[in-house]
Structures are given as C-alpha cells and as structure tokens.
Structure 1
C-alpha cells in the first residue's frame, strides 16, 4: 500500500465482483506502473500489458451474471478505471472503452444480440474496441439484401489496435442518419491503422479504422438507420462521459501522489523557508491544501454521479427523458471538476517539486500531457453552459453523443 493510500479510499460499491475487483485492479495498476513512464515515452501498442488486463479477468466485470460475467455495478467499474488511471491512464482508457462498448450492446442491442455477443465475450475473453466516433461520417453504409456494405475511414478509434471486436457507426445517406453495429475486427475488409501520434495518451490504440467493402449482416446491426433513440439508448453518452471523468480523476490522483512522494522523500527545502524538510515548509503545505481542495470535491461528485448512473441504468426501458437529463447534469458536474483537478494538479505539481523533478527519469510530465490531450475530447465550456442553463431555468441537457 502506498504511503498515502488513505487519500484514495474507494467509495462504497455494490455487485458480486466487489471483494476481488478492487484488489485485482490495485495489483494490476502496480504492475503497469513499473513500466508506465518508459512505455509512455516509447508510445505504440502495449500488447503485453493488454494481455495482463485480459488475464486479470476484469474484461468481464460489467457483463451481467446471466451471460457469465461478474455483474459489477457501475460505481465499481469506475473505481477500477480510476485505480488503473493513477498508474497508466492510456491503458485505463482502453479498459474503460472496452466496457463502454459492452454497455452499447446492452443499450442498443436486442435480447438475442446481447446474449450472443456478451456470452461470446466471456467465453473467448474478447477485448472490444471503438469505431463509433459520431462526428466522423466518412464511413458510408450502403443497403444490401441482407444488411449493409461499409466503406470509409473512422478516426479516434480508441482501443481498435489489438481488439477482437469493434462497435461501429456508419452514415446512411438515404435517411441522413447513422446506424450502429458490431463487427469482428479481423473481418475481411477491415484494416486498423496504428497511427495515433498525439503527445499524450500514447498507448490508447486510437488510430484510424479503414472499411473497404465490409459486409455488415443485418443481425449485427444494433441500431438501424432512422431508428429513434430511446431515453435508455442515450445513456451511452453518459457512461462515456463518466469514464472520462474517472480517467481525469485517476490522473489527478496519480499526479498528486507522485508529487507528495517526491516532496516527502526527495525534495530539498528552500533555503529561505527556515525548515529542514520540504514537507515542513508552511508554504508547501498551503499549496498542497489548495490542490487537495481541487481533488476532494471532484472525487465526491464522481462517486455521486456513478451511483446515479447505476440507478438510472438499472431501470432499462423504464428510463424517462427527465431522469436521463438529471443524470446528465450530475455527470457534467463531475466531469467539469475532474477536468479542472487533472489539469491544475498535473501542472502545479512542478512548482512544489522543483527543477530536479523535471528529469525524464521521473516522467512526471506524462500526467499533464495525458490529461491535456484527453480533456480535449469535447469542450468543457459546453458542459458549463449546460450547468448554467440548469441552474438558471432547470433545463436539463438535450441528449447528444456528448451530453
């Protein structure tokens, strides 16, 4: 247990997997942390580390017990994401988006599709990737007698490299709407291009996926073109937003702990401080107090939002539009604070650790680079706008792929 493990006490969770999942995730995070800095500098595909995730059994965490999974609650899934993100936010991203695709099967698919694909995921230990970027309409879906043919490119496809199956969206021109489907990654005509070159989140396997005359059978279409999205289906965006929230929060916690450990064990007291140890400097203590007040409220709101999401999610088809809207408010609150905590803590830590801490051997810059890249996923200003509207008039956010 790290010296400051008490700072990150996990919130209460429910589900059959609780006794083991936190311990497994903690051990896995410690293993990932040993090489996280070197792998961040190298970039590329973390094939071995993804196998560690597969071997951990955590890929079945959110799958219902009736399909052979562990039946974990969403609060538990988010706690695991956050634990992994403290050590390695790129692989936590890949892990979180795997569970986002599984949630999509539940929210979009019919009972037969759910049973088939979720059972297959358990039996074959499948790792899911994402090719569902809703703003990228370059993949066209052309009608055929028994389904569709897909052609085009999908960008920002997190976890696609090394995945077994993909959740895919494609634009259907006749109806001017998108369809959503599931496909095996290694199907003929699908090529995953590992060309992710951002300065952060370097091992998220978020390259481009190319579709060349790919046959999509009708029984793998989860949401058909022109099919109206139910309130239940629109919960997917809230699951995604709360995954990001816990990624940002995990990075903030990881950065805070890295700074705390460095200050306690290696930093030298400033000559004018009048103390022998940096951790005894009242100004240093004051600044850590300020960072703690960024981190702690973000933790609380993230845990509250996770519980609310779980409550709404379990209502299934009975979810109302207003309940979904109130959930979007809770998630926006949590995401805005996690965004701020991640950015501020990962930047300000250097003012507390000093010049020597910028050495590449520590890799402390990766916390800022990772959270800076990921927080650009969608503009936080629109979350603040939504919260302002709610505060002024009680208007809940309109369902979109981001709100």
Structure 2
C-alpha cells in the first residue's frame, strides 16, 4: 500500500489531510499576504502530502478522488488562503487538460509520473494572450514570445503552454517541462489580491516543443467531453470564491463574538442579541447557503459527465454548463457581499492592518475579475428565455 506521512492508503483521508495543512497555512496567511511572492514552503508541504495526485485514478498511482471531493479540498484551502487554493486547484485543472485534450499514450504516463514524483503543474495557457507564436525551424517546432497570467508556473515541474501556429493560425497547446531551456518566468505579479499565485508573465525564447508534447488529439474544445475543460475551470473558481466567503464569515463571526461592542443606541444588552447584527448574519447565511447548494449540485453533474467520458453528449454537457454558470454567478455575488459587509458586523477596530481582514475582499475582487460575470448572466438569460446552452469556449 502507498504510504503518505506514515499512514497506510486505506487510512489516508485527503480531506483530513487538507484540513491539517489548512490549519498550518492559516498561521502564516496574513504575513504571506503582505509579503507576496511564491509560497515555496507551502507548495512543498502539498508535494509531501500526496494531494497533488488527488484526481489521478488509482490505477495510475493516484488517489482516485471525484471532482466533488477534489473541489471540497480546494474549498478547504480557500477558507484560509485562496492563493494556495488557486495553485492547488490549477494542478488538477492542468491534469484535466492533458486528459481531455490528449491521447491515452500522453496523459497516462504524465499521470503516473505526477503521482510517482509529486509533480506540480503550472499554467501558461491564457488563450486571450496571443503573443506566443509557434513555427517549425530546421525540423524542430518552437514556441516563441510572451505570456501573461501564468498562475502557479513558478516552482512547477510541468507547464501547460499555448501558442499560435504561425502558418495555420491554429491554437496549439503543449505539456512541457518547466525547466526546459528558453522558458523564463518573471516575478512580476504584485496585485492587490491573490498575491501568492505567481500569476505573472513568462518569456518563451525559441523553446523546443516535441510533437509528442502537443495536445492535438482530440485537441482543445473538439468534443463535448473535451469541452468540459472550461467548465472545470469555472467550477474551480466558484469553489474558491465560496471558500473565501466562508473563511470571511468565520473570521467575522469570531471577531464579533469576542471583540465587537454593542452600539450605544442599541436596546440589546450584548452583541449576540443586537437585531441589526443578527440581520446581517442572517443575510450572509442565506446568500452562502444558496451558493453552496448550487456549487455542490454543479460538482455532482460534473462527476456524472466526467464518468461519461467520450460518450458525453452535447445536451449533457450543456446541462453541466448551466449548473456551473449559475454557481459562478451565485458565489461571486454572495462572496463580494460578505467580504464587503463583514466590517458592518465587526466594527472600526477590525480594520486594523494587523488583521488584514480586507484580504478576503481583495482576493475575491481580483479573482472574480477573471472573466466578466455579466456575460455569465447573459448566458443564463439566453437559457432561461431561449433554452440555448452556452456556446463552448475557453470561458463557457
């Protein structure tokens, strides 16, 4: 049996392991939010934990978790540190990418090596950034150019990268070792939130790409099953948004109970009975509960679609898309509401920089701008009025 931290596989609980790691990460979350940069020690703990192989089938050396269980683990991290949650979640999104876009002879060896060597996968795909081109020079294919928003690329072992074929103008996606000559990752991510995701830029200087590393069969967005990739990404976002909101509510509750004071005009004798405080918490709970139910329902539908594999129909894929889009909208709205209004139930003293409670809003505000939620509402409106499923793209 595989041993992880001295435990037999039969006794190993990924969620319990994630909770233990999250408790550990929480101790330094405030300081690391201020510091920014790469959470190297935390990434190494994830490597040692075995959780990087969470979604990999047991037959290939992984833990064989469902998407629902994997996303619950992502949410566990997001409650205390959404940067770590993002790079951890993108690990599984990158693995899903090679599974969905590549052949068995490609993804199965990569899965085995990932499970065996605790590989971390990073992202350099960003299809909207077309500055990286690809051409064949002296019989060898190369990627050359720049790429932005390369989340988790720093300290990774493998990269999913994209380029535009200079001849056909086709989007090419490849899985390549991060250490390959010509790949330069820049430490230029310094945003107000998600400060330890290393979502900066990269240069590809005539980087060699083997034909066996190109994901062309079946390729991006080529079949209903391959079109699950953007839905997995969107549901990852929803779970991280939800985790951030849950973490914000938990910290607000602790502060309210231990530190907040009843306003002088209140008729309540203590903060637990103040009607306006209770009103806010009631509204927070309703928003979160609805978002949770929609998010969990979407995960269940995703698991069913994933199990269908190449037999997945366009209609079944469309049903997943509607569920995921609804979850994305709900978690965005509920999360932004809670992370902004949490100070109304904690008070002025909770704004001290030492607590950095604003990090929940900053992280969520940055991440929810990934792609406009207005367009998600338009897609849902098209479904509600015209019964039209969202057209598959890298964002729908």
State the TM-score, normalized to the length of structure 2.
0.95
SS of 1:181's partner is strand
Q: For residues 287 and 227 of structure 1, do their structure 2 counterparts lie closer, same or farther at Cα, with a shift above 3 Å needed?
A: closer
Aligned position for 1:11: none
Residues 126-275 of structure 1 mapped to structure 2, 5 A cutoff: 126-144=119-137, 148-223=141-216, 229-275=222-268
Residue 378 (structure 1) shift: 0.1
Q: For residues 111 and 144 of structure 1, do their structure 2 counterparts lie closer, same or farther at Cα, with a shift above 3 Å needed?
A: farther
Q: Does 1:103 align with 2:96?
A: yes
8 Å Cα contact 1:312/1:319 also seen in 2: yes
1:371 to 364, 375, 382: 364
Aligned position for 1:320: 313
Aligned position for 1:345: 338
Report Cα offsets for 1:44-77 as digits up to 9, x if no partner. Answer: 1111111111111110000111110000000000
Q: CA RMSD in A?
A: 1.6
How many residue pairs get matched? 388
8 Å Cα contact 2:101/2:218 also seen in 1: no
Q: C-alpha distance in 2, partners of 1:380/1:310?
A: 24
Residues 287-298 of structure 1 mapped to structure 2, 5 A cutoff: 287-298=280-291
Report Cα offsets for 1:289-330 as digits up to 9, x if no partner. Answer: 011111100000000000000100111111111211111110
Aligned position for 1:334: 327
Q: C-alpha distance in 2, partners of 1:317/1:148?
A: 29
Residue 144 (structure 1) shift: 4.7
Q: C-alpha distance in 2, partners of 1:17/1:140?
A: 47
Worse overlay, 198-207 or 18-27: 18-27
Aligned position for 2:5: none
8 Å Cα contact 2:102/2:217 also seen in 1: no
Residue 143 (structure 1) shift: 2.4
Worse overlay, 135-144 or 367-376: 135-144
Moved over 6 A (4+): 16-19, 224-228
Q: C-alpha distance in 2, partners of 1:360/1:238?
A: 37
Q: What runs of 5+ residues in structure 1 fail to find an aligned partner?
A: 1-15
8 Å Cα contact 2:218/2:226 also seen in 1: no
SS of 1:314's partner is helix
Q: C-alpha distance in 1, partners of 2:268/2:28?
A: 35
Aligned position for 2:76: 83
Aligned position for 2:297: 304
State the TM-score, normalized to the length of structure 1.
0.94
SS of 1:130's partner is strand
Q: C-alpha distance in 1, partners of 2:192/2:382?
A: 34
Q: What runs of 5+ residues in structure 2 fail to find an aligned partner?
A: 1-8
Residue 161 (structure 1) shift: 0.8
